[in-house]
Structure 1
């Protein structure tokens, strides 16, 4: 303590010799510690903000769906309220469910808000610093076909790419051609994520029977193994009845 006091006196004498105003006093160790802590907190916040921006940029969500939240989802019917409750519960339990590789399945006709709820899940998880990728099944297969050419994208590298996000959401299942090759890729990607305990979400306009016919028994069984909840969006389309900040396409 005596040494610190002597140092403070010495600094005061030096400041006086330099002609500094009397109001200028040396910083105490505690003040320096507080300034350092403030800078560290600011740097951490910048890092978190940059990380969040990066996650959002890689999510596959366009600007329209980045605005989708649970709060701005149009709920008028009991089924809509239940869908939001289930999706929010999935987000709350994501760490637990993700450790088991469990995702979700949204089925139903166009215009019922499946994409909105899936995007709201993605946005909530991204805000919690989980990596999420949402892509249409056609974009997924287009990416897979890139490995057929003479380039550096191997099948192994591509499968690792699909394995990377904490949550992969595959949209528009049912728009694919239904070829054997597509079915093989779908099953391989799903198997890889299941074995790695990485959850996958599925969004489709097909009902369960049509989805089973499209995928075949084995792939459909794997899909069932991969989901913890299934929500059937069985109400009428509200396309054109109400617009939110998401400017819904009504999926």
Structure 2
């Protein structure tokens, strides 16, 4: 990890800490949120002795006659940076279910998922603070790891790079604004902070009733970020296809009412859910990654495997 100090994250014996695996911090599920804390192995910093800053020697040339000169400056210690980044992570408000999400433990079932992981990793590792960066949007069925990749990306940006970021599930944002109205708050007061963070992840894009209130809220949020050149990441269950594809019917062309409803739902496009104005901006703001409709639901696959291979009697099931 880039911000580790010498000797931190290890025991006196030289062994790597089993709690944090040498990362010096721990991310845990606490209620419905993923929260970070400094690991106990790193609370007492051996570098600064708890002062939070260190003297660092620098060399610079202030005059051609004098030549290069050495001098000392006071800089924040790595432990101070770690505490700041842990605090930043806790402002992201990631769901507790993805507390342990990382690029390494993302399981890809097909080439499209592998590409999605690659796009997210490339974005995270190539991101430059302060620069305008193109985000990405992940589309696919439920349970295919879209939120996992959003969480892994934000975790990397915040903990490793100190980027200010936020996560929001769109229907919960609508509910938060409605509650705010009852407390005398305007929608702008809630949207404002989301408009200003360097990277924002919007999950479940397209979800909702499509009411004027929801469309106006989404349009304002994306417009603010688009106009400011800020990076936004998205995940959606709706197709990114630009047009509806023809869906062949049965031999006689007849469909039951339920079949017709299923076909319509399957064919829904993000473009139709968010409108032409927002969709056009998404095309400019993001790299599109679409997962096939037959991509396995990881939650169902895990449950089905567990039911086929239950743990031996007397053994407790480990959390995953």
TM tier relative to shorter chain: 0.7 to 0.9
Q: Which residue of 1 aligns with 2:227?
A: 195
Q: What is the CA–CA distance in structure 1 between the aligned matches of 2:151 and 2:289, rounded to whole Å?
A: 15
The CA deviation at 1:73 is 0.7
SS in 1 for 2:297: coil
Question: Gaps spanning 5+ residues in structure 2: where?
Answer: 1-45, 55-74, 242-268, 304-317
Which residue does 2:168 correspond to in 1? 135
Residue aligning to 2:288: 230
Gaps of 5+ in 1: 1-34
Question: 1:97-148, CA deviations, whole angstroms, 9 ceiling, x for partnerless residues?
Answer: x733522110011121111111111111112111221111012212333453
1:215 aligns with 2:274: yes
Which residue pairs with 1:67 in the alignment? 100
2:200 and 2:274 map into 1 onto residues whose CA distance is 18
Cα shift readout 1:159-205 (whole Å, capped 9, x = no counterpart): 32112321111111232111111111101110101111111111111
Matches within 5 A, 1:1-251: 39=51, 40-41=53-54, 44-95=77-128, 99-100=131-132, 102-127=134-159, 128-149=161-182, 151=184, 153-209=185-241, 210-227=269-286, 229-234=287-292, 235-242=295-302, 247=320
Cα distance, 1:103–1:185 mapped onto 2, change above 3 Å: same
> Structure 1, residues 77-108: CA drift from partner, whole Å, max 9, x if none?
33232221111111122227x73352211001
Q: Which moved more, 1:201-210 or 1:188-197?
A: 201-210
Between structures 1 and 2, the one with greater strand share:
2
- 1:95, 1:59 → 2: CA distance? 19
The higher-RCO structure (CA 8 Å, 6+ apart) is: 1
**How far apart in 2 are the matches of 1:158 and 1:207?**
29
TM-score by length of 2: 0.59
Partner Cα distance (1:185, 1:157) in 2 = 12
More helix by share: 1
User: Counterparts of 2:123 and 2:272 in 1: how far apart (Å)?
Assistant: 27
Using a 3 Å threshold, how does the CA distance of structure 1 residues 150 and 70 change in structure 2: closer, same or farther? closer
Residue 58 of structure 1 aligns to a residue whose secondary structure is helix
Cα 1:110–1:246 shift into 2, 3 Å = farther
Number of residue equivalences: 209
Give the structure-1-normalised TM-score.
0.74
Structure whose CA Rg is larger: 1
Distance 1:162 1:211 in 2: 22
Q: Distance in 1 between matches of 2:83 and 2:319?
A: 24
CA gap 1:150/1:80 in 2 versus in 1, 3 angstroms: closer
